[in-house]
Amino acid sequence: MRPPRLLTVTSAAVAIAAAALVSSAPSAIAAAATPARSAAPARLGAVAAGGPSGVQARGANLVNVATGRRLWSRALTTKRPMASITKVMTALVVIRAGGLNRTVRVPAFVVPYVDQHNASSAGLRPGDVLTVRQLLEALLLPSGCDAALVLASVYGPGWRAFVRKMNVTARTLGLRSTHFANFDGLPWPTEFTTYSTPKDLITLGEAAMRLPAFRAIVRQRSYFIAATAHHHAYRWQNTNELLGSYPGAFGIKTGHTGGAGYCLLFEAQRKGVTLMGVVLDSSKTNSTAAFADARRMLNWAFAARRGLLAA
C-alpha cells in the first residue's frame, strides 16, 4: 500500500501567516458589511409566551431537526459575531474536500499566530506530522486556532483562498446573513467582521452534522493520540460542557471572544426527538452562561406537550 501523501504548507502561506495574518486581514475583508453592535432585545429575560424562561442570550434559535419546525427564537435574523462556532464551517469545507487520511507537517508559524491573538490552542508542535482527521480533532475539541490555521493554509491553499471557499459554501447553503473574514472566528480584522445569525447557524449546524466524520468528532468528550516517531502525544478535551452533563447531548461547538460573548451551537436527543439550538452572547463574563441557556431551552422543549415537538 502506498503511504499517505504528506501535504506541506507552502512558503507563500508561511509569509502570509508571519506577516499579514498576525497583524491584520486584507482591506477588502475589513470593508465587508458588519452587524449592528448594539442590537439586543429590550428585555433579555423576556421570552415569547410559553417559551423557555431565564435565557440570557441576545440571540437564540431552537428547532426540531426531524421536522424543521422552529420551537423558539430570539433575534433570529440579527447579525452577531459567533467566535469559534466559525470552526464548524472550517471543518465542513475540509471534510467536503476529502483526504482526511493525508498527512500534514505542522508549520512553525502556528506558534506566533496563537501567541499574537492569545487564541485557544490545541498545542500543536511545529514539525509534527498529523493526519487531516487528527487536525480536525484538534480544531473541534479544544477549539484549536492553530489547527484552523494549518487546515486553512493547506486546503486553500493559503488562508485567503480558504476563507473565500467558506463564503462560497455559505452562499451555497443559503446563509444570506453570514460572512467569514477568517477561518477561526478570532476578532480580526475586528470583532464584527465574521458574523452570522441564529437562523443561519442552525442551517450550518444541520449541514455539518450530516457529515459522519464531523458528527463522530463533536460527540467525543476527549481524544488521545499516542506519541510516535512522527509526532508528540496529544490529549484534547472537548470544550462543550454539555457532553456528559446533559443527558442526550452530542454536540456541537462552543465559541467565545470579547465581542461575541459566550456562544454555543448544540444538539441533543431524547425519546427519538432530536433538537438543535444555538445561543449567541449569553454573557460577556460568565463562561457557563451559554451552557445554562442551552439547558433551559432543551429542558423546556423536551418537557413540553407532544404538540410542540410534532410536525
Kindly report, residue by residue over 168-218, the tens digit of the pLDDT: 999 999 999 999 999 999 999 999 999 999 999 999 999 999 999 999 999
Distance CA 67, CA 69 (A): 5
Q: Which of 73, 84, 153, 282 is catalytic?
A: 84
Is 196 among the catalytic positions? Answer: no
| Contact by Cβ (8 Å): 97, 155 | yes
Is 30's pLDDT higher than 50? no
Q: Please identify which of the residues 120, 143, 153, 177 carries the catalytic annotation.
A: 143
For 164, other C-beta atoms within 10 Å of its C-beta total: 14
Tracing cell 429542558 back to the chain, one arrives at 299
Residue 168: CB atoms within 10 Å = 11
Is-cis flag, bond preceding 252, omega within 30? yes
Mapping DSSP to helix (H, G, I), strand (E, B) and coil, where does residue 268 land?
Answer: strand
Question: What's the whole-model pTM score?
Answer: 0.88
Nearest to 177 by CA among 201, 209, 213, 153: 201
Among 87, 165, 199, 253, the one annotated catalytic: 87
**Percentage of the chain exceeding pLDDT 90:** 81
Domain 51-309 adopts which CATH fold?
A: Beta-lactamase (3.40.710)
Known catalytic membership, residue 84: yes
CA dihedral 25, 28, 31, 37 (to 10 degrees): -40
How far apart CA 22 and CA 62 sit, in angstroms, is: 36
Q: Which three cell numbers stand for residue 239?
A: 470544550
* Cβ contact 176:197 at 8 Å: no
Instruction: Taking the CA atoms of 133, 139, 142 and 144 in sequence, report the sign of the dihedral they define.
Output: positive
What confidence tier does 304 reach under pLDDT thresholds 50, 70, 90? confident
Alpha helices, H only, 51-176: 86-97, 110-117, 132-140, 145-155, 159-172
